Chains A and B, each alone.
Chain A
Amino acid sequence: MFDTTRLHYVDGLVTGPIPEWGRFYLELGAKLADEVCEGTLWRVALAVPTRSFCASLVATGFVAARVMASSSTEDAHLHALRGLQIGHEVSLARNGRRLKGKWRGFRQDCLTGEEFGVQVHSRASDGKSYWYPVARADRVRIMDADSVALPKSTRGKSVPSESVFARALLERDEVTTGRVCTVVLGRITLLHHELVDSTFCLAENATCRGSLNDIVRARRFVPQGERATSDVFAVRRPKARTPGRAGESTLAILDGCSTLVRLRDVWRQKSWVAVLDRTDRRFWEAVETVNAECVRRRSDHKLELSSRLPHGVELVTWQVGAH
Chain B
Amino acid sequence: MKTATIRQVSEVYQVGSECQTTVHTIADKSLKCFEDSLAGFRRSLRDNRDDPTSSELLRLMNGARFRFHAVPLPFCHPQLLRPDFMARVSRTVAEFLRGFPQHREHAEQLVSALSATLASEADPIADVIQQLGSEVPDYRCGLLLKEPAIVTIVAEAAVGWGMPDLEILMTSDLRSAECYDRIVVVGPMRWWYRQREGHIFDAPRAYEVHIVRYEWTSDKRLSARAFVLGSGVADVTGDSSREAYERQTSVAPGDVSDGDMELQPRTFWDRIGDSAELTQSDGRCVSEEYASARGFLLQGGVVVFLEAEATSSALLIEMGKEAGLGRAASRGAEVGQLTLERVSTLEVEPGDFLLLRTEGGGDLIPLLADRVMGARAAAAREKQRTWKRALCLAYVDLALGQLVFDLRQAGSGIASEPNILNWMRPDTIRPKNRADFDAIMRVLGLSDRADEFWQTAGFVGRAHQKAGQQIRRMLLERVKESSLGDLEREGTLQFELSDADGGSMTAFRVLEVALANRLVRRTELGRVMLPSDTETDE
Residues of chain A having any CB pair with chain B under 8 Å: 9, 11, 14, 16, 18-19, 21-22, 45, 47, 49-50, 52-53, 187-190, 192-194, 197-198, 234, 236-237, 258, 276-284, 287-288, 290-291, 294-295, 298, 309-316, 318
Contacts and interface: CB of A to CB of B under 8 A. Distances in A.
A45 B175 CA distance: 20
A283 B199 contact: yes
Contacts of A47: 226-227, 230, 232-233
B6 A295 contact: no
Nearest to A50: B12
A243 B325 CA distance: 21
Given A45-B227, A192-B325, A287-B226, 5 more contacts: A19-B6, A47-B230, A47-B232, A236-B343, A288-B249
> Which 5 A/B pairs are nearest by Cβ-Cβ distance?
A316-B230, A49-B203, A278-B203, A312-B16, A311-B17
A21 B7 CA distance: 12
A9 B139 CA distance: 28
Contact of A276 (B3, B177, B226, B229): B226
Contact of B326 (A188, A277, A318): A188
Nearest to A48: B203
B196 to A, nearest CB: 5
Contacts of B17: 311-312
Interface in B400-420: none
B321 A278 contact: no
B351 interface: yes
B322 interface: yes
B13 A311 contact: yes
Query: Counting chain A CB atoms within 10 Å of each CB, which of B17, B177, B203, B233 scores highest?
Result: B203
Contact of A283 (B196, B249, B326): B196
A283 B17 CA distance: 20
Contacts of B321: 189
Contact of B3 (A189, A279, A315): A189
A190 B13 CA distance: 19
B232 A313 contact: yes
23 contacts: A21-B10, A50-B12, A52-B8, A52-B12, A52-B177, A53-B4, A189-B320, A192-B325, A277-B175, A278-B203, A283-B226, A284-B249, A291-B245, A294-B227, A294-B228, A295-B228, A298-B229, A311-B13, A312-B13, A312-B202, A314-B231, A315-B232, A316-B227
B146 to A, nearest CB: 15
B350 A281 contact: yes
A288 B250 CA distance: 12
Contact of B7 (A11, A49, A236): A11
Interface string B216-229: 00000000011111
A298 B227 CA distance: 13
A31 to B, nearest CB: 15
Contacts of A16: 6-7
B1 A314 contact: no
B451 interface: no
Contacts, number: 140
Contact of A188 (B12, B226, B248, B325): B325
Nearest to B5: A11
B261 interface: no
A198 B226 contact: no
Contacts of B8: 52
Given A21-B13, A188-B326, A312-B17, A294 B229 contact: yes
B318 interface: yes
B9 interface: yes
A49 B202 CA distance: 8
Interface residues of B, number: 45
Nearest to A282: B349
A198 B5 CA distance: 7
B9 A50 contact: yes
A234 B327 CA distance: 10
Interface string B313-337: 0000010111001110000000000
Query: Counting chain A CB atoms within 10 Å of each CB, which of B5, B6, B231 scores highest?
Result: B6
A313 B351 CA distance: 23
Given A284-B248, A287-B227, A290-B227, A53 B6 contact: yes
Contacts of A197: 3, 322
A10 B7 CA distance: 9
Contacts of B5: 9, 11, 198
B116 interface: no
B277 interface: no
B365 to A, nearest CB: 22
B193 to A, nearest CB: 10
A278 B347 contact: no
Contacts of A316: 227-231
A189 B318 contact: yes
A309 B3 CA distance: 23
A190 B321 CA distance: 8
B56 to A, nearest CB: 31
Query: Counting chain B CB atoms within 10 Å of each CB, which of A22, A52, A197, A279 scores highest?
Result: A279
Interface string B33-58: 00000000000000000000000000
B380 interface: no
Nearest to A234: B326
Interface in B1-37: 1, 3-10, 12-13, 16-17
Given A45-B227, A189-B325, A314 B232 contact: yes
Contacts of B177: 50, 52
Contacts of A281: 196, 349-351
Contacts of B174: 279
A315 B1 CA distance: 23
A212 to B, nearest CB: 11
Contacts of A234: 326-327
Nearest to B4: A52
A314 B175 CA distance: 18
A314 B7 contact: no
Contacts of A187: 1
Given A16-B7, A49-B16, A284 B196 contact: yes
Contact of B6 (A9, A276, A313): A9
Contacts of A237: 327
Interface in B194-244: 196, 199, 202-203, 225-233
Contacts of A192: 322, 325
Contacts of A189: 3, 318, 320-322, 325-326
B4 A314 contact: no
B179 to A, nearest CB: 10
A133 B318 CA distance: 41
A77 B7 CA distance: 42
A300 to B, nearest CB: 11
B249 A14 contact: no
B296 to A, nearest CB: 13
Query: Counting chain A CB atoms within 10 Å of each CB, which of B5, B17, B248 scores highest?
Result: B5
A5 to B, nearest CB: 15
Contacts of A280: 175
Contact of B231 (A50, A287, A309, A310): A309
A165 to B, nearest CB: 16
Contacts of A311: 13, 16-17
B453 to A, nearest CB: 31
A258 B348 CA distance: 11
Given A9-B6, A198-B6, A283-B196, A315 B230 contact: yes
A247 B129 CA distance: 57
